[in-house]
Amino acid sequence: MKMDVTAPPSAALEMRHDCLAEQRQALTQQLDDAELQWWRQVQERLAQHPDANTAALLSSQCKRNLQEHALPNSGGWSHVQLARALLLAQVLEQHPLVGQLHLLRQLFLWGDDQEKTATLKALDWLDSRGLCVELALQAGRTSNSQVFAALALDTPYPSRHYTERAFHQLVLKALGMGLDVRRLIGLTQRKSVTLNQLALDLLDEQLAAERMVSAGLPRVIAFNLLSPAQHQRLVGLSQQQRLPPEWRDHLAGTSPN
């Protein structure tokens, strides 16, 4: 889906309030008494002063006041990450609609890598219209694998809002960083002849440089869309044992387009 990546800063965000409400409940159920008391205090403080400075200050305090436990069945969210994302959502909800996008961009730029990670993981909740695509694309240029993983994995945001070219670049970078592309939501629907060629080009580069073939590479290829020549070449490489053994499973039972 192609979205407007040059949305004006005055554009209003469309937030997934039902998802945010579920996440607030999930977080409060996991906090101990001391953490819960602190969490309620910071929510009240932010309600009284819903501005960027207060939100940034309270976000920075999360790590000191909450334990870095993983939330069960949460797609990799920790208490600290979720608290930071929910504080961001709260200040956005209380902010005038015409300034929401500008405020989100401002807080993202102010944040450290851990705060950027929390924002990117929550982007689909905060921006269901895809107004933050430009911000996401800029964030995707990071060399920090944790920050990039927050953007690429376990979130439908790229699949919903990225152009084909941008999504393909995301996939290739995830492969280059050694991330588990099975967690890249929407990959199956985005497989194509074009992505096949990009994946095979990457394979050629890795083989020519005698580098290890990316473990997730066969998972981004639509084997039923391969040309006869492409399919035969992969079969030959597999027979020469130049590909990891799991490629045989992907090639077995498939026929070229």
Q: Is the pLDDT of residue 2 over 50?
A: no
Residue with tokens 């436990």: 69
CA distance 164 to 162: 6
**222 and 136: one domain?**
no
pTM over 0.75: yes
pLDDT at 42: 97
| Domain-terminating residue out of 141, 175, 209 | 175
**61 and 141: one domain?**
yes
CA distance 37 to 248: 55
CA distance 218 to 195: 11
pLDDT in tens, 29-47: 999 999 999 999 999 999 9
Mean pLDDT of 163-167: 97
* Reduced 3-state DSSP string for the chain: CCCCCCCCCCCCCCCCHHHHHHHHHHHHHHCCHHHHHHHHHHHHHHHHCCCHHHHHHHHHHHHHHCCCCECCCCCCCEHHHHHHHHHHHHHHHCCCHHHHHHHHHHHHHHCCHHHHHHHHHCHHHHCCCCCCHHHHHHHCCCCCHHHHHHHHCCCCHHHHHCCHHHHHHHHHHHHHCCCCHHHCCCHHHHCCHHHHHHHHHHHHHHHHCCCCCCCCHHHHCCHHHCCHHHHHHHHHHHHCCCCCCHHHHHHCCCCCC
Q: Is the pLDDT of residue 5 over 60?
A: no
| Residues forming beta bridges with residue 70, ordered by sequence position | 78
**72 and 196: one domain?**
no
pLDDT at 257: 63
Could you tell me if residue 9 is inside a domain?
no
**239 and 139: one domain?**
no
Mean pLDDT of 199-228: 95
Question: Are the beta carbons of 216 and 182 closer than 8 angstroms?
Answer: yes
Question: Are the beta carbons of 52 and 110 closer than 8 angstroms?
Answer: yes
Question: Are the beta carbons of 36 and 65 closer than 8 angstroms?
Answer: no
Domain that holds residue 235: 191-251
pLDDT at 10: 60
For the chain, the domain total comes to: 2
| Domain-terminating residue out of 175, 209, 227 | 175
Could you tell me if residue 184 is inside a domain?
no
pLDDT at 56: 97
Could you tell me if residue 4 is inside a domain?
no
**Closest to 40 in 3D by CA, of 22, 20, 60, 58:** 58
Could you tell me if residue 12 is inside a domain?
no
Mean pLDDT of 195-218: 96
pLDDT at 255: 65
Q: Is the pLDDT of residue 4 over 80?
A: no
pLDDT at 8: 61
**42 and 150: one domain?**
yes
